[in-house]
Amino acid sequence: MIGKINTTSVEKLKPGERIADKEVRGFLARRLDSGAISYAYRYRVKGTNEQRLISLGIHGTITAEQARTFAKKRAGEVADGKDPKGEREESRTQAKLEKLTEANTVGAILDKFEARYSSKLRSGDQIKSSFERHVRPRIGAKSIYDLKRRDVVEMLDAIEDGSGAVMADRVLAHVRKAFNWWMVQDEEFKSPIVRGMARTKPKELARKRILADDEIRDIWSALDLMTEPACYPAYVRTLLLTMTRRNEAADIHASEIDGDVWVIPASRYKNKQDHAIPLSTAAKALLPEGKAFLFSTTGGKKAFSGFSKAKAELDRLIAKARKAAGKPAMPRWTLHDLRRTGRTLMARAGIPEDHAERAMGHTIQGVRGTYDRFAYLEEKRRAFDALASTVALILDPPADNVVTIGARR
């Protein structure tokens, strides 16, 4: 029926009935089967015979007069040649697409990877930092579905030019892991990373550096001068005397020590097997007392992790001392070189190769490695004691018998 749409007239409508406003052409009110009253505006798209109905709202959430105002506004838009419903649908579609695109950008995927996976890793902060500095600024805004190999290659080119090939490969490894993780979640996504994108070869990166006797002495002397972090001198010396890797020693916990044996659990050892280290007297003396993390700057609550800053300070002290002594600058060295040096010192002390390899925690290959489960604890104890004795001799050598690593025996 036709009449004036107002509160009284619409509330008299029965389910299925409607009223067309006699003043604003196309303005309608209808009572639905549910009992609700819906306001709408019907119009013809300019230049066509197509009619469209656009909702104005539900009675109760808006009044009849408010609905009339909305209808007049839509009527004005139609008079100007616009298509209110079509434009609204297009706007909603565009917003949906933008939201979808935003959710599938590289940056969004990295966010999910960090939250669900990498944040649980000890290296999580390093991964996040590499994403922030090298990945997000270059490809973070791109849709993962539009990402091409060329985008990844150009990113790696820029990283290599600015930070070196090694850094480019580290970032590549992190991004590859994130993309592989996302491929498990999204069957539509295929990672653009392929073999051959790395900038270095593992063999080229393999280090062979071992520390000479005078370098060991210089490191020990410089450590005596370090006051912050307080745990660092003992930590570095422990690396050499136990031939452990950086994080293996940094994460040492009081619960892993049983008398004079330190057992690194399989959960945090590289070969995924428990590794028992009989501690020499010198190594045992380095470990601080405590019931939690032994090397810590937070009273044992967290394991020591400030490697870069502490190493830089140690290198500064070494450089200063060598310059004052008229010695050349010490060639670049890393904490992992201590592990390689310890293995060399064991050989120098006459420790059998098998025993030295077991002391390092290396897996013995072949049949012997499969069936020989003897712990070799006493053999390893002699090996670590011999290492400690050799280091002590290097630090305080006989005046007429200073021998450097690599010298003929």
| pLDDT value of position 95 | 54
Range(s) of the domain holding residue 286: 213-395
- My answer on whether 72 and 175 are in the same domain is no
Report which residue type is found at 408.
R
CA dist., res. 68 & res. 328, Å (int)? 90
User: 4-13, pLDDT tens digit by residue?
Assistant: 999 999 999 9
Q: Is the peptide bond preceding residue 202 cis, with omega within 30 degrees of 0?
A: no
Which residues are bridge partners to 37 per DSSP?
31
Closest CA to 255 of 273, 268, 246: 268
CA dist., res. 321 & res. 384, Å (int)? 30
Section 252-256 average pLDDT: 92
Which residues are bridge partners to 41 per DSSP?
27, 54
- My answer on whether 167 and 241 are in the same domain is no
- My answer on whether 117 and 191 are in the same domain is yes
Section 148-154 average pLDDT: 93
- My answer on whether 355 and 252 are in the same domain is yes
| pLDDT value of position 346 | 93
- My answer on whether 174 and 30 are in the same domain is no
91 is a domain residue: no
Q: Residue 170 in contact with residue 106, Cβ under 8 Å?
A: no
Percent residues over pLDDT 70 in the chain: 89
**Which of the four pLDDT bands, split at 50, 70 and 90, describes residue 89?**
low
In sequence order, which residues have a C-beta less than 8 Å from that of residue 70 and are 6 or more positions away?
39, 41, 56, 57, 62
pTM above 0.85, yes or no: no
Q: Residue 106 in contact with residue 147, Cβ under 8 Å?
A: yes
- My answer on whether 64 and 109 are in the same domain is no
Return the minimum-mean-pLDDT range out of 114-128, 153-167, 391-405.
391-405
| pLDDT value of position 24 | 92
User: Of 179, 205, 231, which residue sits at a domain end?
Assistant: 205
Query: Domain holding 134: CATH number?
Result: 1.10.150.130
pLDDT at residue 364 tops 60:
no
Angle between helices 213-225 and 307-324 (to 10 degrees): 110
| Signed CA dihedral, 73, 77, 83, 89: sign only | negative
**Which of the four pLDDT bands, split at 50, 70 and 90, describes residue 402?**
low
276 is a domain residue: yes
| pLDDT value of position 408 | 39
User: Of 149, 177, 205, which residue sits at a domain end?
Assistant: 205
**Mean pLDDT, all residues of the chain:** 86
- My answer on whether 336 and 364 are in the same domain is yes
Return the beta strands (E) in 273-402 as ranges.
275-278
**Which of the four pLDDT bands, split at 50, 70 and 90, describes residue 285?**
very high
3-state secondary structure of 350: coil
First to last CA, the chain: 114
pLDDT at residue 1 tops 70:
yes
- My answer on whether 196 and 264 are in the same domain is no
Number of domains comprising the chain: 3
40 is a domain residue: yes
| pLDDT value of position 369 | 43
User: Of 178, 205, 232, which residue sits at a domain end?
Assistant: 205
pLDDT at residue 409 tops 50:
no
Section 332-360 average pLDDT: 91
| pLDDT value of position 61 | 84
CA 124 to chain centre: 4
- Structure-token match 């428990």, residue found: 274
3-state secondary structure of 113: helix
Provide the token pair at 169: 């490969």
Section 139-150 average pLDDT: 88
| pLDDT value of position 5 | 93
- My answer on whether 66 and 125 are in the same domain is no
254 is a domain residue: yes
pLDDT at residue 382 tops 90:
yes
407 is a domain residue: no
- My answer on whether 31 and 58 are in the same domain is yes
CA dist., res. 237 & res. 220, Å (int)? 8
- Structure-token match 């990945």, residue found: 135
pLDDT at residue 90 tops 90:
no
pLDDT at residue 307 tops 90:
no
96 is a domain residue: no
Query: Domain holding 305: CATH number?
Result: 1.10.443.10
How would you class 331 by CB atoms within 10 Å of its CB: exposed for 0-12, middle for 13-18, buried for 19 or more? Answer: exposed
Query: Domain holding 30: CATH number?
Result: 3.30.160.390
Provide the token pair at 251: 């994460």
Section 19-38 average pLDDT: 91
63 is a domain residue: yes
- My answer on whether 62 and 155 are in the same domain is no
93 is a domain residue: no
| pLDDT value of position 116 | 86
More confident residue, 30 or 201: 30
CB atoms within 10 A of CB 366: 8
- My answer on whether 303 and 230 are in the same domain is yes
| pLDDT value of position 373 | 41
| pLDDT value of position 44 | 87
| pLDDT value of position 79 | 86
